Structures are given as structure tokens and as C-alpha cells.
Amino acid sequence: MPSNIVPSNIPDIVIGRLPIYLRALTRLEQEGREVTSSHELGQRLGISSAQIRKDLSHFGGFGKQGTGYQISYLIDQLKQVLKIDREWDVALVGAGDLGHAVANYRGFSDRGFRIVAVFDNDSAKIGQAVGKLTVRAFSEMEAFVREHNIKVAMIAVPAQNAQDVADQLIKAGVRAILNYAPISLNVPTGVYVQYIDPVVHLQRMTYYLD
């Protein structure tokens, strides 16, 4: 969830499910399907069909009772709602193992995001290739982000550096941060943070194990 007050009357928990719906719908489309139902989506996702219908009704409802959802139309609508009917330039900070893995991840580009720069403060890494990009000096980051009007960033640096990196990104205009470092970030109102924390996911599953 974003760390600040939600500027909208749609519950953040609903917003959080929309990318999941979008991913499932995209997969259905790749399978050659044209129409789906809340029942089918629910089965694929482990979410009740009633919940899915209710979530989508916040946006006016994209389907008609009994006829299901037109997949391509629903995909377009969700992309508009999530503002990924455009492509967001993304700055990646950290060019270690994780930074490399993130930079080489192929799932960004057709889903609304494009990594346009990678920064690190290790002089051994600066100038090296990471995917199709060249690692830039951390000292160039603020000017670059400002100049290119970058609003989205990913932090893949050690925990002890993450808050400092976040502060500089925010100062340069970044408003959405995906943080891979295992530490909570303090950010001002109007800036959003999401965390990639594998342990949270593991702990959620062990609850169900014997």
C-alpha cells in the first residue's frame, strides 16, 4: 500500500488487485481467448468472483451480466486506470547482483515501464554494461532524474544506503519508489513506496503449512 493518504475514494486494496487482474487477463489474451468471466478469473487467481465484480464496479463495471468480459477491452480500461497506457521511464539505483537481475528482467517493457538508467557509487561498476545500459555514477543521478523528468525509481542497494538514495531521488522529483532493500523508507506525502520483500511472502505461506 502507499505510505500516504490515498487521493481517491477507491480503496487502495482494490487498486492493489487491479495489476493482478491485468496480468491474468493478458495471459488469457496470449492464450488466444477473447472473453472471460469473473468466475474464471476468480478461479485462476484464488479470489471470489463476487470480489472481482465488486472491484471492477468501482470503475463503472466493464462487463454485462451474463455475457462476461471482453478481454481486450478490459485490458485497455485497466491500463488506463493504472496509467500504464503510457510508458514510464524508470531509474534503477544499484548495479550489484540484484540490480543486474532487475535490469535484465524482460517483463517491464510491455507492461508500462522502461529502465532508462542504472546508477551505482562503486567506481569498479561505473561504465560497465548492465543489459543494454551503462552504469552511471551515483553523483550524476539527481541531475539525470531531474533532466529526464523521471517519476519512478527502483532501489536495489544495501539497506544502510537505501534511505539516502530515496531522499536524493525524491529531491530530484521521483514520486514512486520500488524498494528492494529490506528496510522501511520514510517519504513525504505524495510519494509512494512499495516493497519487494521475499520473506513477507514466505511467512504468508508457512501459516498454511503443518
Interface residues with a copy of itself (CB under 8 A)? 1-4, 6-8, 12-13, 15-16, 18-20, 22-24, 27, 44-47, 81-84, 88, 90, 96-98, 100-102, 104-108, 111-113, 151-152, 154, 175-176, 178, 182, 184, 192, 194-209
Nearer to a copy of itself among residue 20 and residue 137 (C-beta): 20
CB of 146 to a copy of itself, least distance (A): 16
* Joined grid coordinates for residue 64: 454485462
Q: Spell out the long-range contacts of 98-101 with Cβ–Cβ below 8 A and sequence spacing 24 or more.
A: 98/156, 98/180, 99/130, 99/156, 100/130, 100/131
Q: How many CA atoms lie within 13 A of 80 on its CB side?
A: 7
CB closer to a copy of itself, 4 vs 139: 4
Select from 88, 86, 91, 57 the least CA-distant residue to 74.
Answer: 57
**Shortest distance (Å) from residue 68 CB to a copy of itself:** 20
C-alpha–C-alpha distance, residues 12 and 127, integer Å: 40
Residue 10 or 143: the one with the smaller Cβ distance to a copy of itself is 10
User: Residue 129 or 139: which CB sits closer to a copy of itself?
Assistant: 129
